[in-house]
């Protein structure tokens, strides 16, 4: 048998391999025939079809109309040929039933109408049932699972407690997180109780998404990189441990953040089968630091997709070279696709990763 076929035969026959899809196997660090790829914000404003839908419905209406949200989710998979779908929703949706008021204002991003400013505000947060209040996301998941018919797995997701707390305290997006950190430093007990509330909601919400059919979940701690390592350990880590340990066993968890070069070890200690890396770290160095008991996802700079195919190729080759085809690398951007990204470049990247990683395995 030629060497390539022998290698594939070993991969296919190995008894400890599950029959999961390529992407799920890679999350579990099982050997795979090539590197899987999906892209954060693979459904969004860079697509003309998405923009056309958004001319007719607001962003929140789109999330709440399960049929449309499911269509947008599947459209990204069909158009881009990626190895996983991610449910079309937003990390901020649970803030509405918590009672702080959520709006997406054109051009300005999210607005929280009644931001948290005191311990009393934390105490007033509403307890709610995720199945009733966020049932529209669960319904979108069911529709997507049906439509995909096992073609690719579906990723469910939620915001991590710190990142959600930052929106609730700042009242929207932020640059320096001044209000969030001041609250954290001066209102110790209220901070921890807010993080507990958010951790509890997140666990129930993710487990409901899994029950509805999500095969992998990603926790977005997008802004946690604004903290120093000691503050992370003190104010965030206990709650991340609690959150991740509450997720249904056996379902891979992707633990993602940006600007986290100095936090990676602590993030790994909190849990997650896969650690998300952004472009500010070298993938090989970060993975060496994390050790081989964890998979990694990343880490192309989204801005590279605004350049040309030559630059995309060079940077993709570098990332794949650094990963060395070891089991447990999921190709992704270091953060979401930017709205000004040409669709053709995204398609080029997906095909390139498939082609380069396949030939590397066979070579």
Residues with catalytic roles: 41, 45, 54, 90, 167
**Are 263 and 224 spatial neighbours (Cβ–Cβ below 8 Å)?**
yes
Residue bearing tokens 């090989």: 284
Smallest separation, CB 106 to ligand 1CP (Å): 8
CA distances from 216 to 188, 255, 350, 353 (A): 33, 11, 20, 21
| CB of residue 121 to ligand 1CP, shortest distance in Å | 21
Q: How far is the CB of 70 from ligand 1CP (least distance, A)?
A: 12
Per-residue DSSP letter, 296: E
Q: In whole angstroms, give the CA distance from residue 351 to residue 92.
A: 32
Give the whole-angstrom CA distance, residue 73 versus residue 83. 13
Name the E strands within 153-266.
154-159, 216-221, 253-257
**Residue number, 67 or 186, with CB nearest to ligand 1CP:** 67
Considering the complex, what minimum distance in angstroms separates the CB of residue 235 from ligand 1CP? 19
Cα(273)–Cα(149) distance, integer angstroms? 25
Count of beta carbons in the 10 Å neighbourhood of residue 104: 17
Is the Cβ of residue 59 or residue 348 nearer to ligand 1CP in the bound state? 59
46 vs 191 by CB, closer to ligand 1CP:
46
- Rank residues 82 and 122 by Cβ distance to ligand 1CP and give the closer one: 82
Give me the least distance between CB of 79 and ligand 1CP, in Å please. Answer: 12
- Report the nearest approach of ligand 1CP to the CB of residue 39 (Å): 8
41 or 361: CB nearest ligand 1CP: 41
Give the residues across from 332 on adjacent strands. 299
Mark residue 279 as left, alpha or beta (left: phi above 0; alpha: psi -120 to 50; beta: remaining).
Answer: alpha
Residue 38 burial by Cβ neighbours in a 10 Å radius (0-12, 13-18, 19+): buried
Helix (H) or strand (E) holding 269: helix 264-270
- DSSP conformation letters of 76-128: HHHHH--S-EE-S--TTTTHHHHTS-EEEETTTEEEESS---SHHHHHTPPP-
Q: Which residues contact 34 (CB under 8 A, 6 or more apart)?
A: 22, 354, 357, 358, 361
- Whether omega for the bond prior to residue 299 falls within 30 degrees of 0, making it cis, is yes
Q: How far is the CB of 9 from ligand 1CP (least distance, A)?
A: 36
Binding site for ligand 1CP (CB under 6 A): 40-45, 54, 59, 86, 88, 90-92, 104, 109-110, 157, 173, 220, 222, 336
What the block records as the tokens of 134 is 């966020």
């Amino acid at each position: 048998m030629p060497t390539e076929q022998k290698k594939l035969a070993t991969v296919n026959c190995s008894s400890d391999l599950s029959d999961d899809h390529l992407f799920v196997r890679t999350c579990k660090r099982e050997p795979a025939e090539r590197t899987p790829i999906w892209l954060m914000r693979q459904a969004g404003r860079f697509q003309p079809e998405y923009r056309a839908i958004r001319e007719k419905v607001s962003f929140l209406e789109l999330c709440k109309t399960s049929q449309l949200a499911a269509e947008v989710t599947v459209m990204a998979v069909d158009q881009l040929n990626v190895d996983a779908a991610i449910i079309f929703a937003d990390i901020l949706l649970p803030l509405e039933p918590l009672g702080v008021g959520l709006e997406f204002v054109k051009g300005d991003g999210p607005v929280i109408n009644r931001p948290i400013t005191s311990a009393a505000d934390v105490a007033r947060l509403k307890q709610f049932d995720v199945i009733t209040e966020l049932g529209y996301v669960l319904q979108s998941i069911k529709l997507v699972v049906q439509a995909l018919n096992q073609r690719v797995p579906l990723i469910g997701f939620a915001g991590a407690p710190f990142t959600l707390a930052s929106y609730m305290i700042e009242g929207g997006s932020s640059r320096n997180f001044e209000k969030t950190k001041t609250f954290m430093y001066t209102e110790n007990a209220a901070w921890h109780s807010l993080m507990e509330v958010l951790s509890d909601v997140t666990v129930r919400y993710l487990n409901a998404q899994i029950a509805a059919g999500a095969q992998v979940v990603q926790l977005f701690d997008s802004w946690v990189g604004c903290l120093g390592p000691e503050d992370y350990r003190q104010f965030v880590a206990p709650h991340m441990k609690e959150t991740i340990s509450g997720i249904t066993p056996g379902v891979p968890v992707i633990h993602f953040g940006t600007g986290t070069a100095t936090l990676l070890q602590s993030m790994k200690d909190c849990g997650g089968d896969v650690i998300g890396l952004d472009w500010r770290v070298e993938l090989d160095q970060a993975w060496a630091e994390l050790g081989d008991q964890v998979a990694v996802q990343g880490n192309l700079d989204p801005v590279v997709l605004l350049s040309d195919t030559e630059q995309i190729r060079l940077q993709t080759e570098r990332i794949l070279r650094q990963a060395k085809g070891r089991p447990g690398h999921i190709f992704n951007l270091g953060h979401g696709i930017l709205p000004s990204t040409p669709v053709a470049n995204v398609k080029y990247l997906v095909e390139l990763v498939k082609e380069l990683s396949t030939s590397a395995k066979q070579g």
